[in-house]
Amino acid sequence: MTIAGDKGTFKPTVYRDPASLANRFGDQLMDLIATSAKPVFHLAISGGSTPELLFSVLAGKYGGSPLWDRIVLWWVDERMVPPEDPESNFGKANRLLLSRAVIPGGNIRRIHGESNAAAEVIRYGNLIRSELTYTNGFPSFDLVLLGMGDDGHTASIFPGQTDLILSGEVCAESRHPVSGQRRITLTLKTINNASRVAFLVTGTGKAARMAEIASGSKSGHELPAGLVCPLSGDLSWHADEAAASQVL
Ligand code: 6PG
């Protein structure tokens, strides 16, 4: 399965290990952008540890690529901390990728974690609405890269956060259910309105939830990651053997 995905069936592309996934997916990502007819490619990236390898691959293999001139980089979610905070998703991407690639500063649309959350939701949402093309009457990212937590969360949409699952907004404020950490996240509606959504999932900690989602069970469909089903776009799952170990 490529990033183009395979509608209707849950068939993750399985890679031997995280490094293989990052290398192969990085090649697919840059090939997708290179062959895209869109003059500007709006890419939304997630935080967490899984993308770290991908960021390093992109910086190492494609750091000097002219493709970065066409890529506008957005964040799927952000922790409401300053960019220099170790928790910052932007800060991590900056260390591993942005500072090591020829990405024009004007192409970076970070969420201002240092700002007031309510005000930043409005600012970031308005920016998305003003810059993206629309599909189904709603802003549409060209590609959204997601991870999945051990609990089945994705972006900063955690199990049971019905408001974020049902929201008609572009983005919203969220809170981590354990730490209470304030976050801003794209809503499920925005994620499901993307042209393409790709999950990158690694580690044995994800295996149970992946299997739950793969089974098509009711509980699987109630997990935020299990609710990602693009309206008209493509969905693909990319996992290492550990994360896919319980998918039959
Ligand atoms: C975040 C991410 C989050 C992440 C998952 C998986 O801000 O933490 O957006 O949704 O993708 O928690 O994280 P790992 O890749 O570290 O497993």
Q: What is the pLDDT of residue 90?
A: 98
Question: What pLDDT sits at residue 10?
Answer: 77
Q: Which atom of ligand 1 is nearest to the CA of 206?
A: 17
User: Average pLDDT, whole number, for the chain?
Assistant: 95
**How sure is the predictor about 176, in pLDDT bands with cuts at 50, 70 and 90?**
very high
Across the range 96-125, mean pLDDT stands at 98
Query: What Å distances lie between residue 210 and 12, 71, 201, 242, CA to CA?
Result: 9, 30, 9, 11
DSSP summary character for residue 157: B
Q: Select from 77, 96, 146, 238 the residue to mutate for testing ligand 1; criterion: most ligand atoms less than 8 Å from CB.
A: 77
Ligand 1: nearest atom to the Cα of 185: 9
pTM of model > 0.75:
yes
If phi > 0 it is left, if psi is from -120 to 50 it is alpha, else beta; for residue 217 that is beta
**Percent of the chain with pLDDT strictly greater than 70:** 97
114 Cβ contact list (under 8 Å, min separation 6): 81, 82, 83
User: Is the pLDDT confidence value at 226 over 80?
Assistant: yes
Distance CA 190, CA 170 (A): 6
Atom of ligand 1 nearest to the CA of 205: 17
On the question of pLDDT at 12 being above 50, the answer is: yes
What is the average pLDDT across 111-130?
A: 98
> What pLDDT score does 4 carry?
62
Query: What mean pLDDT do residues 7-11 have?
Result: 66
Q: Which residues contact 53 (CB under 8 A, 6 or more apart)?
A: 18, 19, 21, 22
Burial status of residue 218 (CB atoms within 10 A of its CB: 0-12, 13-18, 19 or more)? exposed
Interval between CA 77 and ligand 1 midpoint (Å): 9
Bridge partners of residue 134, in order along the sequence: 139
In the predicted structure, residue 15 carries a pLDDT above the cut 50? yes
Q: Is the model's pLDDT at 109 over the cut of 90?
A: yes
For residue 3, the model assigns a pLDDT of 75
User: Ligand 1 pocket by C-beta < 6 Å: which residues?
Assistant: 46-50, 76-77, 89, 147-149, 153-156
pLDDT at position 1, please?
44
Q: Render pLDDT for 61-104 as a digit per residue (tens, 0 to 9).
A: 999 999 999 999 999 999 999 999 999 999 999 999 999 999 99
Whether 2 shows a pLDDT value over 90: the answer reads no
Whether residue 7 is predicted with pLDDT greater than 90 in this model: the reply is no
User: What is the predicted pLDDT for the residue at 6?
Assistant: 52
- Closest approach atom of ligand 1 to CA 49: 16
